[in-house]
Amino acid sequence: MAHVAAEEMVGRHVLEVFPDIEPSDIHAAVRRVMAGGPAERVETFYAPLRMWGINSVYPLADGVAILSHDITAQRALEQDLAFLAQASRILSSSLNYQRTLRAVARLVVPTICDWCAVDILTDSGQVDLLAVAHVDPQKVHWAQELRKTEPVDMDAPTGLPKVLRTGKAEFYPVVTEEMMVAAAKDQAALDLMHEIGFSGVMIVPLKLRTRTIGAITFVASQPGRHFTDADLATAQKLASRAALAIENSRLYEASQKAVALRDDFISVASHELRTPVTSLKIYTQVLQRQAERRDDQELSSALAKMGVQINKITTLIGDMLDVSKIESGKLAIQQEPFDLNAVVTEAIEGVRAASTSHSIGHTGRIESDVRGDPDRIGQVITNLLSNAIKYSPRRTEILVRLGEAHGEVFVEVEDFGIGIDQDHLDRIFERFYRVNSLDEKTFPGLGIGLYISREIVHRHGGSLEVTSTKGSGTQFRVTLPIETTRDEAGI
């Protein structure tokens, strides 16, 4: 078939130029218009020309007129954008870049090429064939076999090695027999190349800033199929997105390793610190009792203050260990029915014993049992009371309310201290977040107590909520489901 420029098609019926092409959709439109129908516009792909056209069919007195317009560039751009959008969705669907690159290789075939290979440079400088896709899945092993018979020679002057060394694309829009003979090291390799078929090749680098980490090879193998500059541009855009996905995946993997190392360190350090701190606390109590027997009030008072600080250290160690357990999914929650009234009362008495600066009022009572871990819920209430004292330095009253409503029980802890600005209410349950006073004073602590408390409550099927007014105080509300007996559940 003779080559005809697209411009020669404009304004002419395609059958005038290529009488052996019979686009059935055009003929169907012609028949409808000749039968009295309105003018029609038909979009057609002329496969031998690799061209898209818009054909306008107009009624005439004695027939029809057909005007054809070349829209190949427009359709190519649309397909390019659609392809890159789909590839981007795949690349962002997972942080496992090996899996996503294999999926992209399958997407590339046959949209851009007939077969595709993705190679990654390992830390040792070796080339790892990560993915291979072929328009005929049964021929994938041919490409893999070619890699075995033709391993990557990093000193080779052209092809994949050069791309990996220079970071610049290699573009062979048309592959000739002479080029294959020159590339094959022996007759067996040349025969395999003939089996696979090479009519065009593009090799584009995968680059992270200035460092080349791999390459994507695109091969056209169908007779008459070759690559264009537009194909190369699309391949380079795809490689840029793939490299970014690889970088994000590696950064995420590195961050996860860092988090795991941190959690391991916190866990080990917390366990190791507990033993000496426990011993220190015991010796402090022994010394305090001896001072009391000798009626040495000054020493007894100093040792009591020392005991308070040791308790704070013990709490901080426990909090760090809890954060580590939460992050690793190992925070244990016991499941048993318990009396929430008793847990709240014990928490209040413990906080009163440790701090005499505030009064804690206690109203309401819960008649229903709650199921869960009484020690962990006690930890939550203690933390809320301690926070209420810490963040109300100029007010001395703390209120605790208990009640039941709508199949749930609740505990409210209210203070009248510095309060929290509305813009920051959602952040107070984040790790390491700390509230500032009106004069921007930062209070002591690691800022993890509320984070741990919310996690504990959530794992009981409940909620921990907060309402506050800056300068007027804060109210925390713990809500837990009521324990349901087998009879109540209808069992």
Domain boundary among 297, 328, 359: 328
Residue 491 within a domain: no
Residue 53 is encoded by which pair of tokens? 């056209």
Residue 186 within a domain: yes
Residue 257 is encoded by which pair of tokens? 């390793």
Are 83 and 173 contained in the same domain? Answer: yes
Angle between the N-to-C axes of helices 187-196 and 140-149, in degrees from 0 to 180, rounded to the nearest 10? 160
Residue 80 is encoded by which pair of tokens? 């390019």
Residue 357 is encoded by which pair of tokens? 């600066």
In tens digits, the chain (491 residues) has pLDDT values of 345 565 665 556 555 665 555 556 777 887 888 888 888 888 877 665 667 777 788 887 777 777 777 777 777 777 777 788 888 888 888 888 888 888 888 888 888 888 888 999 888 888 888 888 888 777 777 767 767 767 778 888 888 899 999 999 999 888 878 888 877 777 877 887 777 777 889 999 999 888 999 999 998 887 777 888 888 999 999 999 998 888 888 888 888 887 777 777 777 777 777 778 888 888 888 898 898 888 888 998 898 888 878 877 887 777 777 777 777 677 778 889 999 999 999 999 988 887 788 899 999 999 888 899 998 899 899 989 988 998 888 888 999 999 998 889 999 999 998 888 877 777 888 876 665 554 545 455 556 788 888 989 998 999 999 999 888 899 999 999 987 654 444 43
| pLDDT of amino acid 443 | 53
Domain boundary among 191, 220, 250: 250
Residue 486 within a domain: no
| pLDDT of amino acid 45 | 72
Are 324 and 359 contained in the same domain? Answer: no
119: CB partners within 8 A, 6+ apart: 127, 128, 129, 130, 152, 160, 164, 214, 215, 216, 217
| pLDDT of amino acid 6 | 55
Q: How do beta strands 200-208 and 211-220 pair?
A: antiparallel
List, as own/partner pairs, every contact residues 249-252 make where C-beta atoms lie below 8 angstroms and the sequence separation is at least 24, other chains included. Answer: 249/95, 249/96, 249/97, 250/97, 252/95
In the block, tokens 């395999």 appear at: 192
Are 463 and 375 contained in the same domain? Answer: yes
Are 219 and 263 contained in the same domain? Answer: no
Q: What is the spatial distance between Cα 484 and Cα 491, in angstroms, rounded to a whole number?
A: 11
Are 365 and 400 contained in the same domain? Answer: yes
Q: Identify the CATH number of the domain in which residue 359 sits.
A: 3.30.565.10
Residue 487 within a domain: no
pTM: 0.52
For residue 52, give the 3-state DSSP assignment. Answer: strand
| pLDDT of amino acid 114 | 86
Are 340 and 312 contained in the same domain? Answer: no
Q: Identify the CATH number of the domain in which residue 36 sits.
A: 3.30.450.20
Residue 184 within a domain: yes
Q: Identify the CATH number of the domain in which residue 273 sits.
A: 1.10.287
Are 99 and 15 contained in the same domain? Answer: no
Q: What is the spatial distance between Cα 319 and Cα 312, in angstroms, rounded to a whole number?
A: 10
Q: What is the spatial distance between Cα 209 and Cα 367, in angstroms, rounded to a whole number?
A: 65
Domain boundary among 26, 51, 69: 69
Are 128 and 244 contained in the same domain? Answer: yes
Stated length of the chain? 491
Residue 54 within a domain: yes
Are 323 and 357 contained in the same domain? Answer: no
Number of domains in the chain: 4
In the block, tokens 């070759």 appear at: 226
Are 313 and 345 contained in the same domain? Answer: no
Are 401 and 375 contained in the same domain? Answer: yes
Residues 98, 130 contacting (CB under 8 angstroms): yes
Provide the residue range defining the domain that includes 262: 254-328
Distances from the Cα of 101 to the Cα of 147, 243, 254, 255, angstroms: 19, 10, 19, 21
DSSP letter (8 states) at residue 358:
S
Residues 469, 419 contacting (CB under 8 angstroms): yes
| pLDDT of amino acid 214 | 92
Radius of gyration of the chain (CA): 37
Residues 39, 56 contacting (CB under 8 angstroms): yes
| pLDDT of amino acid 21 | 53
Q: What is the spatial distance between Cα 465 and Cα 243, in angstroms, rounded to a whole number?
A: 43
At 259, which amino acid appears? V
Q: Identify the CATH number of the domain in which residue 114 sits.
A: 3.30.450.40
**What values do phi and psi take at 242, rounded to 5?**
-65, -40
Residue 489 within a domain: no
Residue 146's closest CA among 189, 180, 114? 189
Are 365 and 283 contained in the same domain? Answer: no
Residue 22 within a domain: yes
| pLDDT of amino acid 46 | 67
Residue 143's closest CA among 179, 105, 111, 103? 105
